[in-house]
Structure 1
Amino acid sequence: MSIIAGNDVLASGKPGQRVVDDMLRQRIITGIAIAVVFFAALFLLGPTGFSLAIACLVGFGAWEWSNLSGLSSLSQRVFYLCIVLIVLVLSAMLIDFPSVAALDFNAGQTILAYTVLWWAIALLWVQGYPSSAILWGSRWMRAIMGLLVLVPTWVAAVMLIHLEQGPWLVSLVVVLVATADIGAYFSGRRFGRRYLSPHVSPKKTWEGLFGGVLVNVPIVIALGIGFGLDLRHWLLLGFTVLATVLSSVLGDLLESMVKRHRGIKDSGNILPGHGGLLDRIDSLTAALPVFALITVSSNGWF
């Protein structure tokens, strides 16, 4: 890649368009492949199969997070992976997964309620970076952060997929987060002036955040009309979408903060053109627990 880029620079005085096009093409192809595999698993595997598939993703995410934590040796990283999987199994036992009758949604709500409290603390750390690193900058504190990020994501996915409209609810979260990300990107590029968190992610702006929220308004309107919602459920839907979108931004910022502290650009390189798995699901690690907690606690807006 560097050789090709270098030749193009010599020829034109700037990075070659061919390199940019190749990178964009690779990113698009990988993105389409991810989407196809994800939605196939979501709608074809059933609740138990999908839950186990997400557990595998959490395991790989734990492997990447061990690197973000600064656990460099193979034994340390394997040990951390085992710890995450053990906590995952304990969480599964708490919510009675896989239950023949039904999941224990009360236990799941309790886990997610504490998760939201954790994300409130994470927000303060992101706002306070780099000074806040004195609280979480050690290797094992970052390792604990990974537990709090990854395991509740699995719990939230399991709870949602076991609801009556489970696959569609999980799809909705993914669409909301993706739409917000696209809206934030374009509105930030066009109108961005005030930085959201310059020490963590210099490219994110308040204008981009507002754009990410606004582009989801048509989705709220379409769902409200499609389900024939009354005013109460309209407000509940709007609050759910707003909380989900805002929390997705926090999930992105938290991983960016840890990567910046670690001094790396990507969490891994398993996804060509995208980086690591965590680079693709960081927004969902906060959005899924928030969406699931509101949806389950309120008995849904649908």
Structure 2
Amino acid sequence: MSHLVIIDGHAVIHRAYHSIPPLTRNSQPVNALYGFYSMLLSAIDVLKPSHLVVCLDSPGPVSRSQEFIGYRAKRKPAEANLLVQLPLLPETLAAANIPSIAIGGFEADDLIATITKKYTKKLKKITIITGDKDLMQLVTDKINLFVPVRGLSETKIFGPAEVKDKLGVPPSLVVDLKALMGDMSDNYPGVAGIGPKTAVDLLKKFGSLDEIYLHLTDLNNLSNLVRQKLIKDHDSAYLSQKLAKLIDNIPIKFKLKSSRLNDDIYSGLNTLFADYGFKSLASRLAKKNPQKPAVKVQSNQASFF
């Protein structure tokens, strides 16, 4: 079965950093890197993909910052021990022969949206590995999320039913939900005073953001307090809708055939784990690909887990 797994690279490595105890290689922190590749091996084992690609954020401003100057302005800077590991991710992916994509000005989420739109008809299944709720808007019967829910040890698959159970609305209304209630993490406001419960209730009643605003004058369907909030923050709601919607038409050079999971990737991972002293990852890899014996970890390297 043709099954593409897309890894939201920086979302996973951030979670890995906070889930794995401190580890060093030649005095450099590598715990986030270790956790990322541990999750990658778990995904290969559980999901059994035919194709694999990693999408990465690029440093510098993104297109949404031009739409709203406060976009993500309140996020705390990453810790220094994580920051020094971020450049290692694209380097090690290249060394392991795993394709990755990063395009200046765009977020990994947008790259993922573009790939899913381009290839969903050509594939039996697409699974996105992420901890980012923004990607729930992409979920369909063919596109699932594989989400770490407790560190890296416990995961959950989100299909359309799971998204609705989690958020109260189906994937098709995730953007409008965020338009109404805003997003504290990305720092866009939505409609002031409209929280998740009211936003869900409004969408259940009217079906979309547009329909809500079309019925503002219907006294039987809205309380006066909610109506005034919606009127006051009309522009904010539609700006937030635009910020929440993922961009799915980025011109990318990614070709599906370049992402096929093959022996070159297993060999690259094997060598990478040996170079970094990731002994337990090398052992796990050997069990998945027994015809390729593990490269022995050198004695002058630290062996982790």
Q: TM-score, normalised by structure 1?
A: 0.25
Tell me which protein shows more strand as a share of its residues.
2
Higher helix content, 1 or 2: 1
Q: TM-score, normalised by structure 2?
A: 0.25
